[in-house]
A and B are shown apart, each in its own frame.
Chain A
Amino acid sequence: MGVGVAQSGLARKEQVSGWLFVMPALVLLGVFMIYPILWSLWMSFQVGRGMAFSFGGFANIMRLTQDPVFLRALTNTLTFLAIQVPIMLVLALLFASALNDSKLWGRSWFRTAIFLPCVTSLVAYSVVFRSMFAQDGIMNQMLMGLSIIDAPIPWLADPFWAKVVIISAITWRWTGYNMIFYLAAMQNIDRSIYEAAKIDGVPAWARFWYITIPMLKPVILFTTVISTIGTLQLFDEVNLITQGGPSDSTLTLSLYIYNLSFRFMPSFGYAATVSYVIVVLVGILTFIQFLAARDRRA
């Protein structure tokens, strides 16, 4: 009996009312988040076209291993991850470090300008990027005007350049978001550490590398994990700017799921399987990142 008996009536009532307060949120979470997750897990074992599905066991997983389009989508997604996330986070760190200087003129203007892309509408900015990088768009006109290139680059018609456009678009949009995290964390670093370092003759780059970055480790870990998850689920930009083209060179896993469900003859079970691939990838990468950032006891 133990603890239950020892609880007074008031403590019990507090327990119950606590649960009652949490219950509506839990119910909504359960219905709209847990239930679809479990349903999609069940769906990933179904095969069949359209609404006519039947149990297929591990057939979908076998299909994954032999599907050239899935491999293409996976390669593209991991490429975007490996290139875009480091570039974006390094840029964000540099910007935050530069803007941390209280004597910099126009600080708040720069901060706003770099953060503004995050709050623009996703669709609007994708459409603008699409027109900017068109064959006769402003990008080509500017580059030709500055004599950097002498023939227009087929940004959206070439597999390599299309990836460059997507990476540029995402970096432009999310650098400011990560920069704000770093800025906020940097404000919390005690100024006296930097003063002591300056007095000891530590150069600026060493102050950045040996003081700033280690003190920002938890925030860097957080932004890396969040950016990884976001880039692994990349959909909007590739759908709106390049439609996964040209020739599937910017096809990501999320866009492939969309094609499987809404563009091709629907294979909802297989699409659910591919979505679980994303889940597994996110889990593995997050685990690795936590492992890399853990405090090592000497």
Chain B
Amino acid sequence: MTSFSAGLKRSLAIALAGVSMFSVTAASAGEITVWAWDPNFNGATMNKAAEIYSAANPDVTVTVVDFAKADLETKLQAQLASGTTDGLPDIVLIEDYGAQKYLQSFPGAFEPLSGAVDLSGFAPYKVELATLNGQGYSLPFDSGVTGMFYRSDILADAGYTAADLEGITWSRLIEIGTDVKEKTGQILMPIDPNDAGIFRIMMQSAGSWYFDADGNPTIADNPVFKAALKTYQDLIASGITKPVAGWTEYTGSFTSGDTLATVTGVWMVGTIKANPDQSGQWGIAPIPALDGVEGATNASNLGGSSWYVMSSAPNKAEAIDFLKTVWGEDADFYQEILVNQGALGSLMVAREGEAYSASDEFFGGAPVWQNFSTWLGQIPSVNYGIFTNEADAAVVAQIPALTSGGNIDEIAAAVDAQVRQQIQ
């Protein structure tokens, strides 16, 4: 043959070898890919579930891919929008605020689970938020019931006990924080000016939300929202908060003792307990209630997520069976992840397990899971709708104006205007 055709044959062979290498990287049977954020919490619980399942089904392996939450959401949305299903996982973790957004924007992308899994055993509010057209799409995972995590040793130095933090309002907390700062010089809480989570906590604690049940914005004339804005303004003005940027700085702030408390969801237990030398120095109190608002409670929710199965999953049947067997029925599994990660699952029969009534010496021997379960029952129920990200962005955009002492009514009107713009 001529040198030309020999060269051609060689380059063709190399090209074929290259193409075959692509196909080898495709998922092999028996391997379930899971996308999740927070390796200390979600990743850890999924790995524990994988351990239990693989013991009974040795030919199945579960791989958890870790992302930052915002990255996972944008990656999932980008890929679903493009229509290609190559590279999508079998199971994906989605936060409850965005459940309806994904289900409604991308019909057919998620596999309904109500046929294979008995969803009646789960807390109804969790099942409802992932139900579309009568079909349930989620394996409900954790509740984001909120608590105030605080360094009990530092507060004790300033003369405050756990009883002083029970059933208080935000203004009382600001008083306590100011007093602690005077006596010990310690700052109370880190606040990320790019994160609107604290507003969501305050709104839901009084039974309100950015939208009503029909999806109309309820922002400009919402007394709860204005009370939340005022509380935030007072918090910043009192000098008991410290600005942080991003997740790592935020969690680093209170785990290192730089600040001494944070109001967040129960899922923060995993991160706090990742410092075993601080055992016995932490306490958990109910969150403060909004001042001057009807229906204000000391209970709220931040986050909470569920597992979803993609319709395009290469190992769909195994993924559904895995979720059903471990997550859907195994009450002992829920005891373990409760103690180790603070994962307050939504499987109702698991609530009767012994771990839920045990006390935790990391948190000073208090019956923390009992407390969280009690608060869980008190969370006012709200309909999140599909525009939570837009509402968050609108609130965050006004935070500099709020921090520098702006007029509350004007700020609420500005947030309302932006949200109305974005949801058309």
Contacts and interface: CB of A to CB of B under 8 A. Distances in A.
Chain B, interface SS category: helix
Contacts of B194: 157, 243, 245-247
Contact of B417 (A51, A68, A156): A68
Given A246-B193, A246-B245, A265 B105 contact: yes
Contacts of B423: 265
B397 A69 contact: yes
Contacts of A72: 397
Contacts of A130: 246
B83 to A, nearest CB: 9
A111 interface: no
- Interface of A, secondary structure class, is loop
A246 B244 contact: no
B73 to A, nearest CB: 7
B421 interface: yes
A261 B389 CA distance: 12
Interface string B242-258: 01111001000000000
Given A72-B397, A246-B245, A266-B105, A66 B74 contact: no
A134 interface: yes
A156 B246 contact: yes
Nearest to B402: A247
Given A63-B421, A67-B421, A134-B249, A245 B105 contact: no
B78 interface: yes
A65 to B, nearest CB: 11
| Centre residue among A47, A243, A268 by max chain B CB count within 10 A | A243
B243 A157 contact: yes
B133 interface: no
Nearest to B105: A50
Given A51-B105, A157-B245, A265 B390 contact: yes
Given A245-B194, A264-B422, A50 B104 contact: yes
Interface in B66-121: 70, 73-74, 77-78, 81, 101, 104-106
Contact of A264 (B244, B389, B398, B417): B389
Contact of A262 (B77, B104, B243, B396): B77
A254 to B, nearest CB: 14
Given A243-B194, A246-B194, A69 B396 contact: no
Nearest to A48: B424
Interface in A190-235: none
Q: Give the contact-size bracket for chain A.
A: 20 to 34
A161 to B, nearest CB: 11
B398 to A, nearest CB: 7
B377 interface: no
B393 interface: yes
A39 B69 CA distance: 32
Contacts of A258: 74
A21 to B, nearest CB: 19
Interface in B280-312: none
Interface residues of B, number: 35
Given A69-B421, A264-B390, A265-B387, A249 B400 contact: yes
A263 B77 contact: yes
A66 B245 CA distance: 30
A72 B422 CA distance: 14
A203 B193 CA distance: 52
B195 to A, nearest CB: 9
A135 B243 CA distance: 9
Interface string B182-200: 0000000000111000000
Nearest to A52: B105
Q: Which of A66, A134, A154, A265 has the most CB of B within 10 A?
A: A265
A159 B400 contact: yes
Contacts of B249: 134-135
A157 B398 CA distance: 14
B397 A248 contact: yes
A154 B243 contact: yes
A66 B420 CA distance: 11
Interface string B3-18: 0000000000000000
Contacts of A264: 387, 389-390, 393, 422
A43 B78 CA distance: 17
Most B C-beta atoms less than 10 A away, residue of A69, A135, A261: A135
Contact of B424 (A63, A158, A246, A262): A63
Nearest to B107: A51
A68 B418 CA distance: 6
B393 A248 contact: yes
A63 B420 CA distance: 11
Interface in B232-249: 243-246, 249
Given A245-B396, A247-B396, A135 B245 contact: yes
A263 B74 contact: yes
B101 A262 contact: no
Nearest to B403: A247
Contacts of A266: 77, 81, 105
A157 B397 contact: no
B62 interface: no
Nearest to B399: A247
Interface in B365-397: 386-387, 389-390, 393, 396-397
A258 B303 CA distance: 23
Interface in A20-73: 47, 49-51, 63, 66-69, 72
- Which of B81, B398, B414 has the most C-beta atoms of chain A within 10 angstroms of its own C-beta? B81
B238 to A, nearest CB: 18
Contacts of B417: 68
B387 A247 contact: no
A79 interface: no
A138 to B, nearest CB: 14
15 contacts: A50-B104, A50-B105, A63-B424, A68-B397, A68-B414, A68-B418, A69-B422, A154-B243, A156-B245, A157-B193, A245-B245, A246-B245, A264-B422, A265-B423, A268-B81
Given A67-B422, A261-B77, A264-B390, 7 more contacts: A69-B418, A69-B421, A135-B245, A159-B400, A243-B70, A261-B78, A265-B390
Query: Would you list the 9 A-B pairs with minimal beta carbon distance, nearest first?
Result: A50-B105, A245-B194, A156-B245, A157-B243, A262-B74, A246-B193, A248-B397, A262-B77, A157-B245
